[in-house]
Amino acid sequence: MTSDVLRGTDLFLDVLDFDQRRSGLAGNLVQLILYLESTPERDRLEQRIADWTATEPACRIAISRSLWKLPRWRFLSKPVPPPVNWHRAVDPASILDQRINSPISISRLPAFAIDIIALEDGGAILALTWHHLLTDAHGGEFLLARLAATSSAPTGYLPAADNSSLLSRLKEARRFRPVVRQMAVGGVTSPGREKPKGPFRLASTFRVIEPEATAVLSKRSHRVHPIFGETALLLAAALRRVNILCRGQDRKYGGYLVPVPVSRRLPGSRSPVLGNPVSFFFIYIKISRIEESDMDAVARDIARSFVEQVRNDLPLAVDASLSLGSHLPKPFYRWLLRRTMQGELASCFFANTGPVSLGESPGGHYDFLGVPVTACFHRPMICQPPGVGFFACRYSGCLHLTICWIDGALERGIMETAANDLVNELVNDNK
């Protein structure tokens, strides 16, 4: 990526690892790291950030000072651009570690910290650190990632340190646009397959469903369920593709356990959005339902299961990694339940398609996000077999779909065909 590309049109970046919350760190921060091929021009970059701040709805939103007042927002007409911190002749690891362990006040507008770290090879690291409660009003948690417009080569992260700490593992696990992440040490491989040699990477293919086809999908989804219909259709279509791939690898399962995160979104919007997950509901979907010829029936079954869990298990479904359970009072659960049933919340879509095969490392077992795990379904992730994950979000009236798989575990041609079949199943409404 060059500074010329940085001056180009902003491009929305899908961010897979949306639930990366560092429990116990100061301010509960999230960090996105992008490697730029050249150091951007200072004045132009700062002006672009100022322009973005003035037009981005998320920048006009400030979270209240306490989690006890989570639903309350206050809107400001003139947000203040976040300062850009320029660093030269410093160790990137020290800057990144210091930033993510330093408080960022949620009263700042916007609550971001931006660091440009010049490297000896002429490139630079663009580090974006933000308070995890800030949500992008456009339906993506992400903000200044738009500064990293696409280039001929995928944007990658240049590892700043080589050690086994959790923080380093999290950093090394990130790559963006299309939604691709480099796997951390240990990697993941299908049972019976020779473990590929590192570095372990995820390949991906990206599809954009145009507004006309998206409207067809929206109409179809309302027949499935007025609130969760679109998410249910996405899950049904994705899991049917996964089941076909599993049959091709002679995998026999009774069903799939799928975590569906519930996230905040704009009132009046019924589309699945990428935001800060409030809860994870695990839905067990039987193979017999997936293989039914009528995908709408499968989707209705998924939506019904989701609603039942929302009604019955909400207090138990808050993911411990978000560290919200000890802070939120019982009235908030009732507020969340009421908003969910009234259509003011929607679900983000990420299909978990099987148990993960954990790699060995000196520190124990880790998933490819670098998080120690002891159970198969630790958190939403791309799993084995066959090592496929699906991600969807709306942006500019279009539905954006990303299908990821472990590079080398499946052929790209097979996955490109699967992606096309997935889109066809979603938009070809015969009713």
- Based on the number of CB atoms within 10 Å of its own CB, is 69 exposed (0-12), middle (13-18) or buried (19 or more)? exposed
The pLDDT value recorded for residue 86 is 92
Q: How many whole angstroms separate alpha carbon 393 and alpha carbon 380? A: 16
Torsion of CA 81, 87, 91, 92, to 10 degrees: 30
Q: pLDDT tens digits for 195-246? A: 434 333 556 677 778 888 888 888 888 888 776 777 788 888 887 887 777 6
Cα diameter, the chain: 63
Whether the CB-CB separation of 11 and 149 falls below 8 Å is answered with: yes
Structure token digits, residue 199:
């570095």
The pLDDT value recorded for residue 265 is 37
Structure token digits, residue 52:
């973005």
The pLDDT value recorded for residue 87 is 92
Instruction: Give Cα separations from 147 to 54, 111, 116, 324 (angstroms).
Output: 14, 17, 12, 31
Q: What angle do CA 68, 71, 77 make, to 5 degrees?
A: 120
* Angle, helices 295-317/330-341, rounded to nearest 10 degrees: 160
pTM for this predicted structure:
0.46
Question: Would the CA dihedral through 69, 345, 51, 21 be positive or negative?
Answer: positive
Please give the average pLDDT of every successive group of 10 residues along the chain, which has 431 residues. Answer: 29 27 39 68 78 55 35 47 84 77 61 81 75 38 36 30 33 28 26 38 70 85 78 81 71 57 39 38 65 81 70 39 34 45 36 34 35 31 52 62 68 88 84 62
Beta strands in 268-350 (DSSP E): 277-286, 345-347, 349-350
Whether the CB-CB separation of 274 and 140 falls below 8 Å is answered with: yes
Domains (ranges, CATH) in the chain? 3-172 (3.30.559.10), 202-427 (3.30.559)
CB neighbour burial string for 264-294, b if at least 16 within 10 angstroms, e if fewer: bbeeeebbbbbbbbbbbbebebeeebbeeee
Q: Mean pLDDT over all residues of the chain?
A: 54
Instruction: Provide the pairing of β-strand 73-75 with 84-87.
Output: unpaired
Q: pLDDT tens digits for 345-374? A: 333 333 333 333 333 333 333 333 333 333
* CA proximity to 37, closest of 154, 129, 143: 154
Whether the CB-CB separation of 276 and 135 falls below 8 Å is answered with: yes
* Angle, helices 229-248/412-427, rounded to nearest 10 degrees: 150
The pLDDT value recorded for residue 73 is 42
Whether the CB-CB separation of 125 and 172 falls below 8 Å is answered with: no
The total of other beta-carbon atoms located within 10 Å of residue 428's CB is: 12
